[in-house]
Amino acid sequence: MSHMTNPLATVEQLYGRSTLNALPPDLQDTIFLGMQSLTQAAGLLLRLPQSVTAQANVVLARYWVTISWPFVDEFSDISAASLFLVAKLSSHPAIPRDLCNVYAYLLSPLSPLFRPASEPSLPSKPDKTLYYLSEAGYNETYARVLALESRILCALSFDTHVALPHGLAVTYLKALDFLDVSPPARLAQRVVAYLNTALLSPQLLYLTHQPSALAVAAIYNAAKDLDAKMPECAWWEVFDVDREELGFLVVGMRSVEGAVRAGREETSAELREGNMITRAGIETEMRKRGMVLGKGASSGGAAAQLTEEDILMRSLDERADQMDS
């Protein structure tokens, strides 16, 4: 059964991050979207199969719900560590130097990944020193990735199992005779596109639903998009998905595109350093919104205590970072 099922997030994990001292939800979504897009881009540049990258996306999402503000690690490192870990366990391991090079490039100002359409395009002769990673830089990055790898494993109690819905979806398409729909493979492509897009969903669909439900919802959406006629009956029940679940997922999957577009536009320049959102960027944004830690919760009680603890930890971290560098 393990090939068809995933561990799911608990209610506490999903709602745990909306407590008093958590980041505002829009910032959380922006960070998550940034990390997932970065992982996908890195997977492409490392020539990893999508099955590996997608698993890394899911592992990253699982780790994401276990951590909260203030974050100890840089977001890009979390992405790199997830990808490194999953690739290592697959039959397509990523060479550490390649991994660090790819992230150095993607985080450099030359990377087109997070560049808004409004900004000027790349210069014709890009300055390669902008993404050159020295030996020392490589060692540093790699050490951070390794440290994070073990932290991710600890947080997930060493369970790296991810069942992806893609294979199931193809089986379901076959069962529904949808693979013969003309033009061939168009429907299947659309289904896979929906499944891959759902990896970016701020609703964390892969943490709340089993692969069979994701596959059915993607097929439903794709068939609707292409006007392919579906069976009249409640065919999703054949695949053990109930109507309510399907309805939720259909809407959830369709909303990702809008969320991504909105996220891209909202990501102001201050949030980013180079291209990817950073911790420093988030801090600046928080300050701008007047939500600096400790300032917001001036009235006593548990909230204040929590934040005080956080500030202390934060300053310790900062000091440690300073000592490191």
Question: Rounded distance, CA 302 to CA 191, Å?
Answer: 47
Give the contact letters, 39-78, x = binds to another protein (CB under 8 A), - = no: -----------------------x---xxx-x-x------
CB of 201 to another protein, least distance (A): 18
Q: Which stretch binds another protein (CB under 8 A): 112-120, 234-242, 272-280, 294-302?
A: 234-242
Identity of the residue, 90 or 196, whose beta carbon is nearer to another protein in the bound complex: 90
- Indicate whether 17 belongs to the interface with another protein (CB under 8 A): no
Q: Which stretch binds another protein (CB under 8 A): 23-31, 125-133, 147-155, 280-288?
A: 147-155
Burial of 244 (0-12, 13-18, 19+ CB in 10 A): exposed
Termini Cα distance of the chain: 48
b/e map 150-189, b = 16+ CB within 10 Å: ebbbeebeeebebbbbbebbbebbeebebeebeeeeebbe
CB of 155 to another protein, least distance (A): 6
Residue from 121, 157, 299, 325 that binds another protein (CB under 8 A)? Answer: 157
Alpha-carbon torsion (100, 102, 104, 107), positive or negative: negative
Find the binding residues for another protein in span 176-195 (CB under 8 A).
176-178, 180-183, 186-187
Residue from 28, 40, 101, 160 that binds another protein (CB under 8 A)? Answer: 160
Identity of the residue, 119 or 159, whose beta carbon is nearer to another protein in the bound complex: 159
Beta partners for residue 276, in sequence order: 273
Give the HSE-up count for residue 16: Cα atoms under 13 Å, Cβ half-sphere: 12
Identity of the residue, 110 or 142, whose beta carbon is nearer to another protein in the bound complex: 142
- Indicate whether 234 belongs to the interface with another protein (CB under 8 A): yes
Q: Can you read off the two tokens belonging to residue 198?
A: 């759902």
Beta partners for residue 277, in sequence order: 272
Between the alpha carbon of residue 102 and those of residues 42, 125, 132, 168, 273, the distances in Å are: 6, 19, 10, 31, 17
Q: Where does the chain have alpha helices with state H?
A: 11-15, 25-45, 50-64, 75-89, 96-107, 135-155, 166-175, 186-198, 205-208, 211-225, 243-266, 279-288, 302-324
Q: Can you read off the two tokens belonging to residue 215?
A: 């596959």
- Indicate whether 308 belongs to the interface with another protein (CB under 8 A): no
Residue 203 near residue 46 (C-beta atoms within 8 A)? no
CB of 89 to another protein, least distance (A): 6
Residue from 45, 156, 250, 306 that binds another protein (CB under 8 A)? Answer: 156
DSSP structural state of residue 209: S
Q: Which stretch binds another protein (CB under 8 A): 16-24, 89-97, 112-120, 262-270?
A: 89-97
- Indicate whether 146 belongs to the interface with another protein (CB under 8 A): yes
CB of 270 to another protein, least distance (A): 25
- Indicate whether 167 belongs to the interface with another protein (CB under 8 A): no
Question: Rounded distance, CA 13 to CA 98, Å?
Answer: 34
Residue from 17, 115, 151, 279 that binds another protein (CB under 8 A)? Answer: 151
Residues 6 or more apart whose Cβ sits within 8 Å of residue 20: 297, 303, 306
Total chain residues near another protein (CB under 8 A)? 70
- Indicate whether 135 belongs to the interface with another protein (CB under 8 A): no
Find the binding residues for another protein in span 95-134 (CB under 8 A).
96
Interface residues with another protein (CB under 8 A)?
Answer: 1-10, 13, 62, 66-68, 70, 72, 84-85, 88-89, 91, 93, 96, 142, 145-147, 149-151, 153-161, 176-178, 180-183, 186-187, 210, 212, 223, 226-234, 237, 240-243, 247, 313, 317, 320
